[in-house]
Amino acid sequence: MKVAKFGGTSLASAAQIKKVCEIVKSDEARKLVVVSAPGKRYKEDTKVTDLLIRYAEARLQGQPAEEVQSRIIGRYQDIIRELGLPVEAAEEIAAQLKEALHYIPAEDPGRFMDRVKAAGEDTCAKLVARYLQSQGREAVYVNPKDAGLVVTGEPGNAHVLPEAYEKLRNLKSQSGIVIFPGFFGFTPEGELVTFSRGGSDITGSILAAAVQAELYENFTDVDSVYVVNPSLVEKPKEIQIITYREMRELSYSGFSVFHEEALYPAYQAGIPVCIKNTNNPQAPGTMIVSERPFHENRVSGIAADKGFCSIYVSKYLLNKEIGFGRRLLQIFEEEGLSYEHTPSGIDNISVILREKDFTPQIEQRVVNRLKQELQAEDIIVERGLSLVMIVGEGMRRSVGTSARATSALARAKVNLEMINQGSSEVSMMFGVKEVDADRAVIALYEEFFAQSEEALADMAVTLKA
């Protein structure tokens, strides 16, 4: 049994939905299908989820929302018509969608927002089920409430509850193809709550873990995950196989193919994941697994993320003060700041965090507290940092990886603000100025991927001669 999840671009239009259904029909094992809401049909298009958010915000502010409501309903009506669904089916789906949109904003705007957003996936799932039925297949829309996908209650930030897995396991005995809306679940009290944005990946991963699927297929619009951001490097290499840990590190630092939290249920249950392309289902895609064979090049990907800042704190003999680091982190925690890393010297420590959280007001408060409560001598805030990462299992155990990386960066005239290696077994991290980030990524790609192929080609020439 396989779980197949389809992303927004795979469901953006009737033509795309037809492709999805062909893919589902082509493999008997694809018995559990998770769908997103219709995404963009073309670059300037708007995703249905964004229209739904716009609609909900207008309603919450008491502003007119008719126009955006028509656009939303129109998107589905176009699809229904183009799929040639029977009139009564079309009417039923449209009526249910209208009903969902006409919820009255309750005392809790978060709940209202979640209900409206969820309508995107929910309607899409009903529609896909109807279409498969119209094709003569046994297909059934299953609602997350009925299936038992119970979650925690924070609006827009649900987390699956452990008991959900037991309940969802019953989906195994459902006859026919199950079409399941992604992105949301229900609290034990029956309140609808969505996952964070992009959370349909999470739904698919939870279902795959619950039914102990042989494979969790995640259909998107690229043939595979690339070893580097394809907007920086022309035709970068594709990743054929990668471990959960590697994928997790890449997801953190700018690889947006897969929701950061989505891997966890599959990882825990040991379900292999395959990233595939709805528009080219023959391509093998990228496999995400527990363990992979090491090949010569132990680096499996290079990623970068911008928008970090560092707060450097120094104090003479800081090193001898028991509890200094803990008290420092407590100040950040009390100010609601989540930090990323804390490299340290002998008498100094830096805290690296996401710049967006560190507003000028918070900065002033934190700096004052560091001076007053910790008697810090120097405090230097540096903004505009980027973290560049090399990811690869077993990399750490091979002598010379850091030498190759730092030499490549030096040749590219990238100054290293920070190097963090030593905790993770699978990554090495470089802090650079944002303006240097792209150059750093390209230099590392050339060192670990492009160059090695040239070297191999050279070697082949030498051997022939």
The only residue of 58, 406, 439, 450 in contact with a copy of itself, by rule CB under 8 A = 406
What is the spatial distance between Cα 226 and Cα 246, in angstroms, rounded to a whole number? Answer: 13
Q: Which is nearer to a copy of itself, 176 or 345 (CB)?
A: 345
> What values do phi and psi take at 430, rounded to 5?
-120, 130
**CA-only gyration radius of the chain, Å:** 25
97, HSE (Cβ side, Cα atoms, 13 Å): 28
**What is the closest distance, in whole angstroms, from the C-beta atom of residue 37 to a copy of itself in the complex?**
25
CB contact set of 309 (below 8 Å; sequence gap of 6+): 352, 353, 354, 355, 358, 381, 382, 383, 384, 385
Q: Which is nearer to a copy of itself, 34 or 385 (CB)?
A: 385
Burial 298-319, CB ≥16 within 10 A → b, else e:
bbbbbbbbbebbbbbbbbeebe
CA 355 to mean position of chain CA atoms: 20
Q: Counting contacts by CB under 8 A, is residue 242 touching a copy of itself?
A: no
Tokens of residue 374, six digits: 């910790």
- For residue 259, give the amino acid letter: H
In a 3-state reduction of DSSP, which class is residue 123?
helix
Instruction: Between 43 and 326, name the residue whose CB sits nearer to a copy of itself.
Output: 326
CB of 80 or CB of 209, closer to a copy of itself = 209
Contacts of 323 (CB under 8 A, 6+ apart): none
248 binds a copy of itself (CB under 8 A): yes
Q: Is 460 in the site for a copy of itself (CB under 8 A)?
A: no
Q: If binding is defined by CB under 8 A, does position 197 make contact with a copy of itself?
A: no
Q: Is 186 labelled as part of a ligand binding site?
A: no
- Bridge partner residues of 139 (DSSP): 177
Does 268 engage in binding with a copy of itself (CB under 8 A)? Answer: yes
Among residue numbers 297 through 356, which ones bind a copy of itself (CB under 8 A)? 310, 312, 316-317, 319-320, 322-323, 325-326, 329-330, 333, 336, 338-350
Binding mask 386-405 for a copy of itself (x = CB under 8 A): ----------xx-xx-xx-x
Q: Which residues bind a copy of itself (CB under 8 A)?
A: 245, 248-249, 252-253, 260-261, 264, 267-268, 310, 312, 316-317, 319-320, 322-323, 325-326, 329-330, 333, 336, 338-350, 396-397, 399-400, 402-403, 405-407, 409-410, 413-429, 431
Residues tagged in the binding site annotation = 5-8, 49, 121, 220-221, 226
